[in-house]
Amino acid sequence: MSWSIAGLAAVLVVWSLFARRLSHWQVTPALILVLAGTVFGWLTDDALAGRLEARVVEPIIEAILAIVLFEHATRVHGGFFGGHTRIVLRLLFIALPIGVVLAVILGAGLMPSLTLAQLLVLACVVVPVDFAPVVSFLHDPRIPERVRHVFNIEEGYSDGVIAPVFLLALTIASGEHTRSEGVIYALRQGIPHVAIAVVLGVAIGASAAWCANAADRRGLMTEQSRRLLMLGVPVLTYTLNVGLHGNGIVAAFVGGIAYHSVRHYVDEEREQEYIDDVGFVLAAVVWFVFGAVVWEKLHDGVAVGQVVFGVLVLTAVRAISVAAATVRSPLSGPERVLLAWLGPRGTANVALALWAYIVIPPGPGDTLLSVAIVVVLGSVVLHGVAAPILVSRMASRATTEVAR
């Protein structure tokens, strides 16, 4: 394990020294970490991948997801839906469910060995978007401001919205119960846990923000303490919910929304710096481990059906679901095209994939992880290479139509 930590630290040091130049070359940290993890897996003969035990890794992944989802939820600016309520609701509650259903149907045809619950887990892993591999899109002035804002909100909320479905499906797909028992057990355990998470998440997030506002008015806080508060709130929310049998991940996400809605920031960008940096390091761990697992799975080979599924999820499934959800919306044609085709996958997808891999029995779990690898690596290539070309062609047209 010490060699794994040393390898990850070495990659972070090298990236830090050349970050500006690598960014100029469009080389993302995610790509470097995956490549480094893959090389590490090859050099150590899959030593890291072989130590992914559920009892050790599962709580670590849960904690990482809790902080990442809290961070995502606090990135939304301009109100609860960033001033784009209709568009965001269409993407979260029409496009996202359509994408999940299409992925399940597609998976049933291409991977018939997977059960419905396992297919649902897979869909929850690969359908939500995450801009970690191509975060520059969210700041690219060539993309219309409205599209960038909508992307930012969709990324912030999609994983949190899908989390309860993922957890229920994962409980059923874990193989610890028969199919009927699994459904009953998942509903009996999952619904109360989610309800507790929502209540505690709102209470803790809103209370922490209210206390911070009061402390600021009295001059009791420092710049450092404001930054530390942003990290302490998701950790407190997650751990309290786990202790009280709530769902820590959902609670952290809801807590992030509540905190961000109530908090009157002194300097929002400065206050979020620390949790952004911590989130980056945690994401680096996820990507490095993912790279180590990539070598093991690619060494064993990937089925044609898995590759076809991954390609279609990145292209047709995203395009069809967004196109259906944005019919008669305020968006222009070029804006709809950008939303449909710029849907990368990132840190949250990788974390969910690793979680499912260690919980679901061998065989189906291996298949699920192999597909996730195809989707995530395919996204890095598609959205890192092909997407800039699409942006150049479509963004100017979208800006022109918006100006009209």
pLDDT of the chain along its 404 residues, tens only? Answer: 677 788 889 999 998 999 888 877 777 788 889 888 888 877 776 556 556 665 667 788 888 889 989 998 888 776 677 778 899 999 999 999 999 999 999 999 999 999 999 999 999 999 999 887 777 777 777 788 888 889 888 988 898 889 889 988 998 887 655 555 556 665 666 678 888 899 999 999 999 999 999 999 999 999 999 999 999 999 999 999 988 888 888 899 999 999 999 999 988 889 998 898 998 899 898 898 888 888 777 777 789 999 999 999 999 999 999 999 999 888 888 889 889 888 888 888 999 999 999 889 889 999 999 999 999 989 888 877 666 676 777 655 655 555 55
Query: How far is the C-alpha of 223 from the C-alpha of 267, rounded, in Å?
Result: 9
Amino acid letter, residue 322:
V
Alpha carbons 171 and 163: distance in angstroms, whole number: 12
- The domain spans of the chain are 37-403
pLDDT of residue 50: 57
**H-only helix segments in 218-346:** 223-243, 248-262, 268-271, 273-300, 304-312, 318-325, 333-341
The tokens 């993302």 sit on which residue? 28
Nearest to 3 by CA among 47, 56, 67: 47
Q: What residues have CB less than 8 Å from 337, skipping those under 6 apart?
A: 390, 394, 398
What angle, 0 to 180 degrees and rounded to 10, lies between the N-to-C axes of helices 273-300 and 54-73? 130
8-state DSSP, 346: -
Residues 71/275, Cβ–Cβ less than 8 Å: yes
Cα 272 → chain centroid = 18
- Is the C-alpha dihedral spanning 302, 176, 348, 101 positive or negative? positive
Question: For 37-403, CATH number?
Answer: 1.20.1530.20
| Res 315: pLDDT | 92
Q: How far apart are CA 41 and CA 294, in angstroms?
A: 8
Q: What would the pLDDT profile of 244-281 be if each residue is shown by its tens digit? A: 888 888 899 999 999 999 999 988 889 998 898 998 89
CB pairs under 8 A, 24+ apart, for 91-95? 91/150, 91/154, 91/158, 91/322, 91/325, 91/326, 91/339, 92/154, 92/157, 92/158, 92/161, 93/161, 94/321, 94/324, 94/325, 95/321, 95/322, 95/324, 95/325, 95/326
Residue 20, class by beta-carbon neighbours within 10 Å (0-12 exposed, 13-18 middle, 19+ buried)?
exposed
pLDDT score recorded for residue 104: 97
pLDDT attached to residue 113: 93
Q: What is the pTM of this model?
A: 0.86
Cβ neighbours around 8 below 10 Å, total: 23
47 SS3 class? coil
What are the DSSP E strand ranges found in 45-181? none
Gap between the Cα atoms of 83 and 94, Å rounded: 18
Q: What is the pLDDT of residue 187?
A: 64
- What 8-state DSSP symbol labels residue 114? S
Task: Check: CB of residue 327 under 8 Å from CB of residue 383.
Answer: no
Q: How far apart are CA 264 and CA 268, in angstroms?
A: 9
The residue written with tokens 């806080």 in the block is 221
Q: Tens digits of per-residue pLDDT, 170-183?
A: 988 876 555 555 56
- Which residues, 6 or more positions from 22, have their beta carbon under 8 angstroms from its beta carbon? 15, 28, 32
What is the distance between the alpha carbons of residues 249 and 242, in angstroms, rounded to a whole number?
Answer: 9
Nearest in space to 305 (alpha carbons), one of 374, 363, 246, 251: 374
pLDDT at 189: 65
